[in-house]
Amino acid sequence: MKQAEDSGALDTPRRFDVELFVVHPTWDPTDISSALGLEPHFAHRVGDLRKTPTGTPLPGNYPDTRWRHCIRCDVRNQWYAAEVTNFVDRLEPHRAFLTKLRSTGGRACLVIQFLGDGYFGDELPVATLAKLVDLGLALAIESFAEPQS
């Protein structure tokens, strides 16, 4: 059951991201993008040379493929569940792809990333949680104490 909104911060702009994070031992990130019809915010392919987010080379090669699609959400209250549900609904047509991902050694999760813009509090409906299970997606929550750019 939803609680009353946090009274001191009504209409305060807040940002959070809803993301799909995919890890696979061999797949090419462009194949993941094509299958899902989504562009990655971040991706690297297994075997590529490692580098920092700013492009500075690091020793070694990536041991697996990692691909992350991100949707930035802006709200003026604490509620985030509707945006998460909308994103999960958009993933439902890709159930067969997600099943193949798991059957070939990959994994995927839905990430809710709070960006340090204040209080968030909500509940994900059971129907949304059931869809996550049906799609074989784990749920991850990332929270920053300081605002992120």
Tell me the per-residue pLDDT of 48-94, one tens digit each, with 9 for 90 and over. Answer: 999 998 999 999 999 999 999 999 999 988 999 999 999 999 999 99
What pLDDT, on the 0 to 100 scale, is given for residue 1?
Answer: 40
In a domain, 4, yes or no: no
In a domain, 65, yes or no: yes
In a domain, 6, yes or no: no
For residues 10 and 3, give the distance between their C-alpha atoms in angstroms, rounded to a whole number: 14
Tokens of 141: 């929550």
In a domain, 148, yes or no: no
What residue numbers bound the domain in which 45 lies?
Answer: 11-52+61-143
Domain count, the chain: 1
**Burial of residue 62 (number of CB atoms within 10 Å: 0-12, 13-18, 19+):** middle
In a domain, 96, yes or no: yes
Tell me the per-residue pLDDT of 126-135, one tens digit each, with 9 for 90 and over. Answer: 999 999 999 9
The pTM (predicted TM-score) of the whole model is 0.87
In a domain, 149, yes or no: no
Q: Which residues contact 100 (CB under 8 A, 6 or more apart)?
A: none
H helices within the chain, ranges in order? 29-36, 81-91, 95-103, 126-135
In a domain, 2, yes or no: no
Tell me the per-residue pLDDT of 2-40, one tens digit each, with 9 for 90 and over. Answer: 444 444 456 778 999 999 999 999 999 999 999 999 999
In a domain, 1, yes or no: no
